[in-house]
Amino acid sequence: MNLNIIGQYVKAGRNLTSSDMDNILIGKGLADAMSVQVGDRITLVGQAQHQQMRQRTMNVVGIFDLGMADIEKQTVYISLAEAQSLYNLNGQSTEVAFS
């Protein structure tokens, strides 16, 4: 049985799939703060291996609502393949969280 806790709280759009590329799932708190809706594009910026800054503009495919805006502002989801590509970690991972 597959269990995805965040997927149960998607209120607009859809949940991510493992094959999603160029797509992002964000929290309602962040969506509200940025005035973003499903179908909009946002740029994710982060630090890659060896301190390089990386960025990618992605499609918002879903918005989840946990009823905790502060948490929702801090957490976004992208597929593992997208993260590996974005942060130049092909075939690697530095952290995996299961929900």
For 52-75, what is each residue's pLDDT tens digit? Answer: 788 899 999 999 999 998 889 988
In a structure prediction context, what are the per-residue pLDDT tens digits for the chain, which is 99 residues long? Answer: 455 678 899 999 999 988 899 999 999 999 999 999 999 999 988 776 676 788 899 999 999 999 998 889 988 999 888 888 887 777 766 665 544
Give the pLDDT score at 4: 65
Q: Give 37-40's long-range contacts (Cβ < 8 A, gap of 24+).
A: 37/12, 37/63, 38/12, 38/13, 38/62, 38/63, 39/13
Q: Given phi > 0 = left and psi -120 to 50 = alpha, else beta, which region is 29? A: alpha
Taking the C-alpha atoms of residue 61 and residue 67, their distance in angstroms, rounded to an integer, is 19
Taking the C-alpha atoms of residue 84 and residue 91, their distance in angstroms, rounded to an integer, is 7
Give the pLDDT score at 95: 60
Residue extents of the structural domains in the chain? 6-86
| CATH 2.60.40 correct for 6-86 | no
